[in-house]
Every structure is written in C-alpha cells, then in structure tokens.
Amino acid sequence: DAPLTVIAGPCQLESLDHALMIAESMAAACAEAGVGYVFKASYDKANRTSLKGRRGLGLEAGLDIMSEVRERIGCPTLTDIHNEEQCEQAAKQVDIIQIPAFLCRQTDLLLAAGETGAVVNIKKGQFLAPWDMPNVISKVESTGNERILLTERGASFGYNTLVADMRSLPTMMKTGYPVVMDATHSVQQPGGQGGSSGGQREFAPVMARAAVSLGIAAVFIETHEAPDTAPSDGPNMIPLDRMAALVASLKAFDDLAKADPLRV
Amino acid sequence: DAPLTVIAGPCQLESLDHALMIAESMAAACAEAGVGYVFKASYDKANRTSLKGRRGLGLEAGLDIMSEVRERIGCPTLTDIHNEEQCEQAAKQVDIIQIPAFLCRQTDLLLAAGETGAVVNIKKGQFLAPWDMPNVISKVESTGNERILLTERGASFGYNTLVADMRSLPTMMKTGYPVVMDATHSVQQPGGQGGSSGGQREFAPVMARAAVSLGIAAVFIETHEAPDTAPSDGPNMIPLDRMAALVASLKAFDDLAKADPLRV
Amino acid sequence: DAPLTVIAGPCQLESLDHALMIAESMAAACAEAGVGYVFKASYDKANRTSLKGRRGLGLEAGLDIMSEVRERIGCPTLTDIHNEEQCEQAAKQVDIIQIPAFLCRQTDLLLAAGETGAVVNIKKGQFLAPWDMPNVISKVESTGNERILLTERGASFGYNTLVADMRSLPTMMKTGYPVVMDATHSVQQPGGQGGSSGGQREFAPVMARAAVSLGIAAVFIETHEAPDTAPSDGPNMIPLDRMAALVASLKAFDDLAKADPLRV
Amino acid sequence: DAPLTVIAGPCQLESLDHALMIAESMAAACAEAGVGYVFKASYDKANRTSLKGRRGLGLEAGLDIMSEVRERIGCPTLTDIHNEEQCEQAAKQVDIIQIPAFLCRQTDLLLAAGETGAVVNIKKGQFLAPWDMPNVISKVESTGNERILLTERGASFGYNTLVADMRSLPTMMKTGYPVVMDATHSVQQPGGQGGSSGGQREFAPVMARAAVSLGIAAVFIETHEAPDTAPSDGPNMIPLDRMAALVASLKAFDDLAKADPLRV
C-alpha cells in the first residue's frame, strides 16, 4: 500500500546527457507529485522487429550511463537483460534487472537473474496467462531471491495487436509480489508498421489510469522529448513535457485506490 | 460530465416483489452515493446457452413489472428486446431498450428500436471492434433517433473467454454518445460450464472501477440477493448486499475522473 | 462417407437470370467432378456492416427465385433466414434453411427452424467454441428434427479478423451430423473496410482444401462472375470461371480423405 | 515440389539407445512411405513451464548422441539451440539448427545461427503474424546464409490455447523458403496443466494432414513409444507405433498436393 512508483525513461539509451535530462525531469515531476521514481532505459534492443532498427549503445557504455544516472540523480534504475552473462554486470550497475516478455520462460535467464540478488522485474509474455506466472516466479525464487516485480505488458490478440486484460493485475497481485503496468508496450502494435512496431501513444494514459485505479504498485511508461524521432518505440512513447501532468493525475487515482483496496 | 449512472438489477425478472425489492435497495444505495440509477431486468433470456436454461416471465408479464417498478420506485428502467415486434411495446413500458450484443448488426432490429424514439442502448458484439460501432450507430440514427448509449461487454478472446479492452471505452466515447461498461457480462465465461455460461464475479468490480476511472457515463452491473441460486448469470452477478459499498466506491473514482478528463 | 457436396452460389440474389446462370454453371461443374451440388443464395443481407450496403430482393421475390432455380436446375437449394416468421415460408421453397452465425444462440429461431422439418444448417458463431455446439444442436433436436448440418465459418481472432481452427471440424463431426466448411466467410475481414467487410479471396481455396482433406461432408463457397462488382462479399467470393477447376481439385482430396478417415 | 519430409523424434533426448530406436523406426517408416526423414530431438528444454520439468541431457552429451544417430542411421538431424554460444557446436554435430518460437526475434541468436552456415529452422513465434516473418528471415540472410526453413507452430488464441491458422502456410511459402508444419506444438495447451503444458494429441494428425494438403515441404511430429510417461510434451506426442500409418497417409495427401499446387 505504499504510494505509486513511476518507472520511466527513454526506450533506449542515446547518450549520458540525454539520459540525465530525462531522469532529472522525471525525478522532479515524481517528487512534485509524491510518487516514487525509477529511471528506466535499455542498453540493447535485442529483439527489434527488423535488423535495420537501431539497437543501442551496448552493455558496457549503457551500464556506465545507468550508474551515472543513479549517482547523479539519486534514483533507482532499471534495465533489461538478454542473456545469462549480462545479469551479473547489470546487477552491479542498476537496481532492477528486467526479464523481457519474450524471454520470461527461459529458465537459465531467470536463474541467473535471481542469483544476482538484484530486484528482478519479470514481464509477463504476450503468450502467457496471468495464472501461469507462479511457475515463472518459482524459477527466480529457487535462487533464494524473492525481490520480484511482475509486469503486465499486454497479451496477443489476433495478429499485430495486444490487449491488456485488467483481470491480470489483481490475479498477479495475489502472488504477493508488486505488480507493474507497462502502459507503453501494452499499446504497442507488434510488427504493425512492416519494418517496425506501431503503437497507440494516445492510449498509454488510458492503460496507466485504469491500472493505477486497481491499486497496483507501479506504472511503467516510456517517454522521450521527441517521440517521433526516437530510435525505437516512438509510436507509443509519451512526450516528456506531458509526463508531469500525467504523473500528478495518476497519483490522485493511486491515493484513492490505496485508500479503498479491491478485494478479489 | 454528468455524474455516473448505475444500471443495475437482476439478470432476469422473477416476480414483481423481487424486482421491487432489488430496485428499492439499489435506488437507495445510488441516492446515498449521489449517482443516477436505472433499473435493469430482462423479461426473456432469448439466447441461453442451453434449452434447459430458464427464460423468464415473457414479454407481457415482464413489461408490466417494469412499468410498475418505474412507477413505484420512480427510476428509469432498461430491458433488452429480441426482435422488431417487441420494440414498440417495450418502448411504451421502459425508458431504455437494449440491443443484445449478438444482435448488434441486425439492421431491422436497430431500425425498429430507433423508430420507437426511446433511448437505445447498443451492446457492442463480442465479435466487433470498437471502431466498427459508427456503422451500427448510423443504423439507429437513420431513424432520426439520436438517443443512443453504447455498451462494452467484452470481446471474444480464444474459446469460452472474453476480454474487456479498456481502449474500447475512449474509442467509443469519441462518437459523442454516452458509453457504458457492462461489468457483469465482460467477466462472463461463455459456455464455460457446459450447459450454461460461467463467470468470474470477483472481477466485476475490477472492470467497473477501471472503466469508471476513464470517465464513462454509466456502469452496468447485475445483482441478486442470492446469485448462486439465481436463474441465470449467477456466476457473475454481485450479491445485492455488497452493492451499496461498490457504488459508493465507484462514485469516488467517478468524481476524480470527471474532474480530470482523459484526452485521447 | 458420401462424396463431397459443394454448396455454392452468389452471396445475394440479384435476379432470376443471374441465379440460373450461376446454378447452371455450378451444377454442370459439380456433375462433371462427381460431387453433389446445392445452390446457395440470400434474399436478404440482414446484418450488413453498414446501412448503405445493398440488402437484396426480399423474402417473397427471393424465395420465388429459389423455387425456380430448384425446379429448373433440379438441385437442392439453401438460403438463410433471419427471424421466426421467415422459417415456414422459406422451408416451403428451399431445401435447407440456414441459421446465420450471429443468430446461432437465438433459441426461438432455432426452434422455428427445427419445426419446419426442413434441413437446418447451423453456422457456428464467431464467438462460440466447437464443443459448445451440442447445446445449440439440442435446441433444434427438441423439435424432433434431426436433419441438421453444422458449419464452421471462422472464430473471432482479435479485431477485424477471423481464424478457422481446423480442430473445429473433427470436433463437430463427433456429434454425428454432417459438417460443412464455409471457405468464403472464414476468410472474411469483418468491418475491415470501414463501411463493409473485407476479405481474402485468395485464401478461400486454402480453407476449402484443408477442410476437405479432413473428410468433411460439404464445402460452402460463394461465387460470382464478377466478384469485384458484386453487391456483397465481393472481396472473398471466388470468380465463377475458376469454380470448375476448384471443385475438381477438391474432389480428388475428398476421395482420398473418405478412403482414409481420420480417427480423432 | 520435392516430396514431403517428415521431421520426427522424441521431444527430448533420453539416451543413445532410445534415440537410435526411434530414429531407426522412423527412418524405416519414412523409407517405406517414400518420404524424407530428419531425426529431431532436444538436448535441453530451456523454457519448461515449471522448474520441476526435466530439462534433458545437456549440450555435450546430447550433441554426441545426435552425431551418433546421424552416423548410424544415415539421416539428417535437427536440434534446437537456445543461445549464441550453442550455435557453433550444434552446427558441427547436427544438420539443422532450430530457433525456438519464443526466441524468433532475438537478433543475436538469429545472426549466430546464420553464421554457422547450417540450415536454420525458424519457428514462428506464437505472438507473430506470418507476414512478419520476412523481418525475421532477413536477420539470418544478412549473414549470407539462405538455408532457411520456416515453421508454423500455432498462434496465441486467448489463454492457454493455440490456433494454427492455415493461411500462415501459403503466406510463408511466398517467401520462397520451405515451410514446415509443427503438428505437435500447434496442438499444445501452454500452461494448461498448471505445472506443465497440456496438449491434444488426437489433433496432431488433423493439423498434419490439413497442412500437407496445402503442399508444404515438411511436417514436424514428435513421437515416443510411451508418450504418457515421456519426460516432456507427452500430451501431444504421437505413439511411435502409429507413425508408420500416419506417414503413409500423409504421403498420399502430399502426392496429390504436389501434383496440384495451390496458387495463392
């Protein structure tokens, strides 16, 4: 019943200055609104729709920026990892390591992530039912690590479309672990633009608000000062200059939801 | 931006006394909470999963009860109609006539409903995208009737399962017509119990709250004093004695949503 | 294990001459191939996407043409009915009356159709699992009529898309009733063109062949001499001049399938 | 238009003797039927539903068995790889290396697989549309390797269910690469048994036959002498003693399909 945390940042790291600019802006907006803040960014987009999509700065340069953001802004940080080898290094330089949705059943990756002792944010696969997550969770728990977050990011709904099932949130909350709504990727249109994924940015605040009203722990929102020219996920990122208002709005729904918890 | 309306009542009419009991209880709860109230009940369950399912009191007896409830309780009423012939009679005795989801593309039914001049609540078919509703709407509008409500009640998601896509609500709101969330049927499991549909009653308040937080006009919730012995939709109806608390809770989210409208 | 029957004709009746032209052509192609033939056409498209879509000739004029086709060509005929009142008249003038998919759970329509004693072809709703069909069937059976056909025409798969699940065919075959594959409507894209449904004509032979290879009783294919200018379902109808080759090809797969029945 | 190839074997390697027994039996059945044969088995089940599921013999022991089978039986072999490091070694000891469906968008894995020069079988993700595969293919092609196979193994259809869309096969055939139908995994029920995936073995021959009738290059079928006690995928494997009849039956449909190619 702690107040909402906002996990936000650009889809992919572009430079130290860019990361600091976004983190500083978001940290200020979150402090102002009274919500927690975690800086999120990726050092590698390892599963782009097309080979031509930009992948990012890479592990070493990316993690160095993540460390720098944490130190300078003073906020916790999150990044996604893509194989077992990356887990240990990432866990040294960020607070939360994230299992990508496509990889959420890869046992060795879950074990390696768990063994770092870092917080592990598991994104539920687009192909997975919410009640299948305990099997996924127990892979991480088997390492002795119970610092786990669970993220809804939409389920496959026909071709090139995802749907976010609100029932998924209370279902995953029953595990006792904090539940996160990924408002950005749940409105993605996978492969919807041929060589890249489309998205419906206008619906990200819809997903965020609906989910926050259910009393979730955190909301995950990608943001960029100029989404339409961002190297990835532009169609579903929220412009940075709208984030302060969005966060403040979500906080009001969070207050109400935390004061009046749903019993499922 | 009028305050929320709650459309509630038993799935099917059982008797005048039963209808009055529920309508009275709900009217009091809604007045207390400061939300509008519409009594809802069906005189015929015309598309039961199985022939063995109880169908109800029939048109004449049912509509007489509906009139009586309206007169005695002083609330507007809603019932669903199933063919063109029923529209005129129903429109005389209830305020809102409802197009069942399976029938939402039946042109003659939409025209007959529109021609009554009554408010027409169109349930979006389980097989329809929200952006397909303008085609449905224009069938009713062609009669000169623009007193239209649009209801989300879930979309087919694999077999025996529905999912309520929250994007559907703001998408339908763009038509300018009031949008209703059917929190009861969107958690139905069609055919899920072999001879009848199952449901997940515990998720109805989840759907209602998420939808109300988006600023919808009304929420539709079926209720019964003893859902497990109700003649239909028992698995997804909310016990009557929990409705006052639910309505009051929804009102708080509605206040917040109406004060801070989403812009999609 | 009787040889395949082909149910084919235009989506909607246009004129007697047009109907005779298609029926004659198809009857010849089917005789040549050694398959049974049923002429199919609709007198009313009662659930067009948009009000602007052409609906057809109407009950009386349409059924008169159906009678004439039956008499002159000597083939059985099929048409779809849309309410209880139409059943009796339709059953007098055609051999098989068809329950539209959207209406497959409307109890009164199923009863009225059953009571005519005509063969009743039930299209499985886009929202229904194949194992839910016994509930539908028993509504017709309750009238004493066991002359029933079951048709697969695709299931909702996200928005504006259908998918034909091949498991549906053997599942419905277990009921003992003849199973029909609707190769035309299972490749429809409902609402996919805004004011009308789109379709993928090129996949209709794919669906037909896959289904016939499983040993079904009949295949349903809409055809037109100029699909692109047909009043409805143009995008998924097969040009008439390709039907002879298609039917001959399907017959070869049917022979093989009937000689080597699947055991599910 | 080469005759059908059957890719078959146990879900996971159990021992050299077991692998040889199955390979020998399948090779004989395929030779008898006049179809090609590829032995398939996994050395590691890297994404079991539950941590308790048996994972297999591991890379080194597994690949040694694969080599031995190839040498002794004289058939090509296929195994799936799970990270970049495994590709090179696997490519030395098997003929075809397979990208698991969940991993089909992992760029580095596709590149590493392509760089081995071995044939690469890409399973289409449960979350991917068939028309998205060219993006996946071009990742492998970028390495200069155009020895590619594409496999349909079902798409997510609601929760815990897959559906095999027959349109996927001709759509992928348009790429010019050989298309494989995985008749075993497309009838899997992911997570359907709580701690493991369920399946519908009885439908595997349905999928195989429907797909073969469309003229595909190969069919993928897991088999075991005692599926119900197999360490994984038991619910959807075909008993070994039924494979000869199944293969012979498929060959007849393949002959017909190759003589009468569909034009999509």
- The H-assigned helical ranges of chain B are 16-33, 59-73, 84-93, 107-115, 133-141, 168-173, 204-212, 243-259
Quote the tokens at residue B63. 């509509």
Given the cut 0.90, state whether the ipTM is greater than it.
Answer: yes
- What rounded mean pLDDT belongs to chain D? 96
User: Which residues are CB-contacts of A259 (< 8 A; sequence separation ≥ 6)?
Assistant: none
Residue B53 has pLDDT above 90, yes or no: no
Stretch A110-123: mean pLDDT? 98
The CA distance from B206 to B154, in Å, is 13
C172 — pLDDT class (breaks 50, 70, 90): very high
CA triple D181-D186-D188, angle to 5 deg: 150
Residue A192 has pLDDT above 80, yes or no: no
Instruction: Check: pTM over 0.95? Answer yes or no.
Output: yes
On chain C, the residues whose CB falls within 8 A of the CB of A159 are 157-158, 161
Residue C194 has pLDDT above 90, yes or no: no
pLDDT for the residue numbered B100:
98
Report the chain C residue with the minimal C-alpha distance to residue A158. Answer: C158
Residue of A127, A161, A189, A203 for testing the chain C interface, max C β-carbons within 10 Å: A161
Locus of tokens 């004693």: C117
Residue C179 has pLDDT above 80, yes or no: yes
pLDDT for the residue numbered C193:
77
- Judged by DSSP in three states, A177 sits in coil
Residues D52-67 have pLDDT tens digits of 888 999 999 999 999 9
Chain-chain contact of C206 with D157 (C-beta, under 8 angstroms): no
pLDDT for the residue numbered B159:
97
Tell me the nearest-neighbour CA distance from B137 into chain A, angstroms: 23
Stretch A22-47: mean pLDDT? 97
- Contact indicator for A40, A75 with CB cutoff of 8 Å: no
Tell me the nearest-neighbour CA distance from B161 into chain D, angstroms: 7
- Contact indicator for C61, C41 with CB cutoff of 8 Å: no
% of chain B with per-residue pLDDT over 90: 89
pLDDT for the residue numbered C158:
97
3-state helix, strand, coil in chain D (%, to 5): 45, 20, 35
Report the chain A residue with the minimal C-alpha distance to residue B264. Answer: A202
Residue A258 DSSP symbol: H
Stretch A100-108: mean pLDDT? 97
The CA distance from A169 to A217, in Å, is 10
Chain-chain contact of D253 with C166 (C-beta, under 8 angstroms): no
Chain-chain contact of A161 with C157 (C-beta, under 8 angstroms): no
- What rounded mean pLDDT belongs to chain A? 96
Residues A199-220 have pLDDT tens digits of 889 999 999 999 999 999 999 9
Residues B54-67 have pLDDT tens digits of 899 999 999 999 99
End-to-end CA distance of chain C: 16
Among C155, C210, C249, beta carbon nearest to D210: C210
- What rounded mean pLDDT belongs to chain B? 96
pLDDT for the residue numbered A264:
79
Query: A49-63, B65-79, B90-104: which range is least confident on average?
Result: A49-63
Beta-strand pair D179-182/A96-99? unpaired
- Contact indicator for B210, B216 with CB cutoff of 8 Å: no
Chain-chain contact of B256 with A260 (C-beta, under 8 angstroms): no
Residues D132-180 have pLDDT tens digits of 999 999 999 999 999 999 999 999 999 999 999 999 999 999 999 999 9
The CA distance from B159 to C264, in Å, is 20
In Å, what is the CA distance from D49 to each residue of A136, D44, D57, D263?
A: 7, 13, 18, 39
Residue B37 has pLDDT above 90, yes or no: yes
Locus of tokens 């007896």: B61
Phi then psi dihedrals of residue A221, to 5 deg: -140, 125
Residues D26-48 have pLDDT tens digits of 999 999 999 999 999 999 999 99
pLDDT for the residue numbered A196:
82
% of chain D with per-residue pLDDT over 90: 89
Report the chain A residue with the minimal C-alpha distance to residue C159. Answer: A158
Q: Which chains are within 8 Å of B by 3+ CB pairs?
A: A, C, D
pLDDT for the residue numbered A191:
86
Tell me the nearest-neighbour CA distance from B193 into chain A, angstroms: 19
pLDDT for the residue numbered C19:
98
The CA distance from B262 to B64, in Å, is 41
On chain D, the residues whose CB falls within 8 A of the CB of B159 are 157-158, 161
Chain-chain contact of B191 with C128 (C-beta, under 8 angstroms): yes
Chain-chain contact of D157 with B159 (C-beta, under 8 angstroms): yes
- The H-assigned helical ranges of chain A are 16-33, 59-73, 84-93, 107-115, 133-141, 168-173, 204-212, 243-259
In Å, what is the CA distance from A116 to each residue of A54, A92, A98?
A: 28, 9, 12
Stretch D83-94: mean pLDDT? 97
Chain-chain contact of A102 with D103 (C-beta, under 8 angstroms): yes
Among A155, A214, A260, beta carbon nearest to B210: A214
Residue C64 has pLDDT above 90, yes or no: yes
Packing angle between helix D204-212 and helix C204-212, nearest 10 degrees? 130
Among C166, C187, C203, beta carbon nearest to D206: C166
Stretch B218-222: mean pLDDT? 98
- Judged by DSSP in three states, D211 sits in helix
C&D contacts, CB < 8 Å = 79
Chain-chain contact of C159 with A161 (C-beta, under 8 angstroms): yes
Residue C246 has pLDDT above 80, yes or no: yes
The CA distance from A145 to A148, in Å, is 8
In Å, what is the CA distance from D105 to each residue of A152, A230, C204?
A: 20, 21, 30
Number of C-beta neighbours around residue B159 at 10 A: 24
Report the chain C residue with the minimal C-alpha distance to residue A155. Answer: C158
Report the chain C residue with the minimal C-alpha distance to residue D207. Answer: C166
Among B47, B84, B107, beta carbon nearest to C105: B47
On chain A, the residues whose CB falls within 8 A of the CB of C163 are 158
- Contact indicator for D110, D122 with CB cutoff of 8 Å: yes
Stretch B71-95: mean pLDDT? 97
The CA distance from C59 to C91, in Å, is 12
Among B166, B200, B249, beta carbon nearest to A210: B166
Residues D187-211 have pLDDT tens digits of 999 987 788 888 889 999 999 999 9
pLDDT for the residue numbered D12:
94
Report the chain D residue with the minimal C-alpha distance to residue C158. Answer: D157
Beta-strand pair A162-163/A155-156? antiparallel
Residue B58 DSSP symbol: -
On chain A, the residues whose CB falls within 8 A of the CB of C158 are 157-159, 161, 163
pLDDT for the residue numbered A194:
79
pLDDT for the residue numbered C155:
98
Tell me the nearest-neighbour CA distance from C165 into chain D, angstroms: 6
Quote the tokens at residue B229. 């012995």
B&D contacts, CB < 8 Å = 13
The CA distance from C204 to D170, in Å, is 12
CA-based radius of gyration for chain D:
17
Stretch D247-253: mean pLDDT? 98
- Contact indicator for A10, A225 with CB cutoff of 8 Å: no
On chain B, the residues whose CB falls within 8 A of the CB of A213 are 209-210, 212-213, 253
Stretch B148-166: mean pLDDT? 98
Residue B23 has pLDDT above 80, yes or no: yes
pLDDT for the residue numbered C206:
97
Chain-chain contact of B159 with D159 (C-beta, under 8 angstroms): no
Burial of B18 (0-12, 13-18, 19+ CB in 10 A): middle
Residues of A183-194 as b/e, b for ≥16 C-beta within 10 angstroms?
A: bbbbbbbbbbee
